[in-house]
Amino acid sequence: MDEYASLSCPHCAEFNNKVFPAFKAKYIDTGKVAYVLHEFITPPEQVAVAGFMLARCVPPSKYYQVVDDMFRRQARIYETQDLRGPIMAAGKAVGLSEDAVGACLQNQKALDALTARVQANIDTGITSTPTFMFNGVKVKEGEMSFQELEAAYAAALKARPGKKK
């Protein structure tokens, strides 16, 4: 399963916070589904950029922890108009000092790499977030319920090449 999402997208946060945990527990954690998050930047850009840059500054094993943390903090960021506090808290939660978070967010090479990844995602023809794909086939743009996600997974299993009949 591929998800194209932005850390500044309210629909992406809604999916992450309410639907994804159950799907992850049932399908991803059990090895039935491989999951890849593709980074996208949507307004307000600084929220998505800071969150994804922070997620790339930690060991790969903590990437999704930072992404989840930023999605969970998103509403608060918008309510308070404070990005610094939540980004520092997310960094601290994975063991980074305030100085390390600051250095991470100032890293031009990391920003250039993020920009290149996002452009590559745009070049695939994805135009909105969230967008979901199974086996390279787009199944939906926009929020998905758990039931829709399960149905998309079941359809992908049926359509998969080499499936025994």
85-133 pLDDT, tens per residue?
999 999 999 999 999 999 999 999 999 999 999 999 999 999 999 999 9
List the structure tokens of 74.
Answer: 């998103």
**Residue from 53, 106, 51 nearest 76 by CA:** 51
Cα–Cα distances (Å) from 38 to 3, 16, 95, in that order, read: 6, 14, 24
**Statement: residue 17 has pLDDT above 70:** yes
Domain 2-159: give its CATH code: 3.40.30.10
Where residue 135 falls (left for φ over 0; alpha for ψ -120 to 50; beta otherwise) is left
Q: How many whole angstroms separate alpha carbon 117 and alpha carbon 122?
A: 9
- Bridging pattern class, strands 2-5 and 131-134: antiparallel
pLDDT of amino acid 163: 55
- For the segment 50-67, the average pLDDT, to the nearest whole number, is 97
Q: Has residue 140 got a pLDDT over 50?
A: yes
Q: pLDDT band for position 162 (50/70/90)?
A: low
d(CA 162, CA 165): 9
Identify the pLDDT of residue 160: 75
> SS3 for 38?
strand
User: What band does 161 get if pLDDT is binned at 50, 70 and 90?
Assistant: low
Q: How far is CA 86 from the centre of its chain?
A: 17
Task: For 38-53, write each residue's pLDDT tens digit.
Answer: 999 999 999 999 999 9
Banded model confidence at residue 165, pLDDT cuts 50, 70, 90: very low
Pairing of strands 2-5, 36-39: parallel
Q: Are 1 and 133 in contact (CB under 8 A)?
A: yes
Q: State the average pLDDT for the chain.
A: 94
Tokens of 62: 């903590």
